[in-house]
C-alpha cells in the first residue's frame, strides 16, 4: 500500500488573503494540497478585470503525512488546523472530489454567502453532469437555480449554478403547518 493511500484530507486556516502564497509554499514542501479557485469579474471606477479568488476564503485542503503535519504550521501565513471534536477535521475524499468535478466540468461556481438568504426549496434529481442521478435541494433566484453543497467539516457551503434543463422535480418542499393562534 502506498503511503498516501491512508492519508486523510484536512483543512488549514490561513491569514487573510494568503491562500495562494500558502499554497505555493505547500507545493514547495511537497505537501499534497488543493486550493479551489474560481474566476470573478470585478469592477473599479476606471476598469473591470477578471480575478481568480479562492472558493473558501482562508481555507486550504491538505493531505499531510504524519511528519508534515506539524511542519505545515511553520509555513508563513498558516494560522491553524480546523478542528472538530478535539481532533483535526477530516474532509471525506468524496466531498473533495465533488468540488474538483464541479471546477473541472465548468459549472458556474462561487462562494455561498448566507446573507443572500437563499431559500432551499424543492428536491430535484440531477439528470446530467458529475452529479447525475443524485437528488439535491435547490434554491431559486429569479430564473436561476442553485445547488447548495455543504462541507460539514468546515461548516462551509458553496453554490453551483445549474441549468434548469438538467433538473427533474422529485418532490415539493413540504408546506409549513399553519397553527391556529388560539
Residue spans of alpha helices (H) in the chain:
19-28, 66-72, 93-105
Q: Are 24 and 37 in contact (CB under 8 A)?
A: no
Q: Please list the pLDDT of the chain residue by residue as tens digits (182 residues).
A: 445 558 999 999 999 999 999 999 999 999 999 999 988 888 888 999 989 999 889 999 999 999 999 999 999 999 999 998 899 999 999 888 888 887 887 666 666 555 443 345 666 667 667 667 766 666 554 556 566 555 555 667 666 776 666 666 666 666 555 444 44
Domains and CATH numbers, the chain: 1-91 (3.30.70.940), 94-172 (2.30.30)
Q: Could you tell me which of 131, 165, 169 has the C-alpha nearest to residue 148?
A: 131
pTM for this prediction? 0.66
Amino acid at each position: 500500500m502506498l503511503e498516501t493511500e491512508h492519508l486523510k484530507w484536512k483543512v488549514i486556516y490561513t491569514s487573510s488573503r494568503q491562500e495562494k502564497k500558502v499554497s505555493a509554499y505547500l507545493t514547495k514542501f511537497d505537501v499534497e494540497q488543493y486550493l479551489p479557485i474560481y474566476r470573478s469579474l470585478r469592477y473599479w471606477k476606471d476598469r473591470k478585470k477578471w480575478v481568480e479568488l479562492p472558493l473558501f476564503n482562508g481555507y486550504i485542503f491538505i493531505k499531510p503525512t504524519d511528519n508534515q503535519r506539524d511542519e505545515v504550521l511553520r509555513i508563513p501565513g498558516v494560522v491553524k488546523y480546523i478542528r472538530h471534536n478535539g481532533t483535526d477535521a477530516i474532509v471525506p475524499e468524496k466531498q473533495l472530489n465533488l468540488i474538483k468535478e464541479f471546477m473541472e466540468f465548468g459549472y458556474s461556481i462561487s462562494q455561498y454567502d448566507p446573507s443572500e438568504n437563499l431559500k432551499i426549496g424543492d428536491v430535484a434529481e440531477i439528470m446530467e453532469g458529475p452529479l447525475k442521478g443524485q437528488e439535491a435541494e435547490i434554491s431559486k433566484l429569479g430564473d436561476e437555480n442553485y445547488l447548495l453543497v455543504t462541507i460539514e467539516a468546515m461548516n462551509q457551503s458553496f453554490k453551483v449554478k445549474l441549468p434548469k434543463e438538467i433538473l427533474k422535480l422529485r418532490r415539493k418542499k413540504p408546506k409549513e403547518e399553519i397553527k391556529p393562534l388560539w
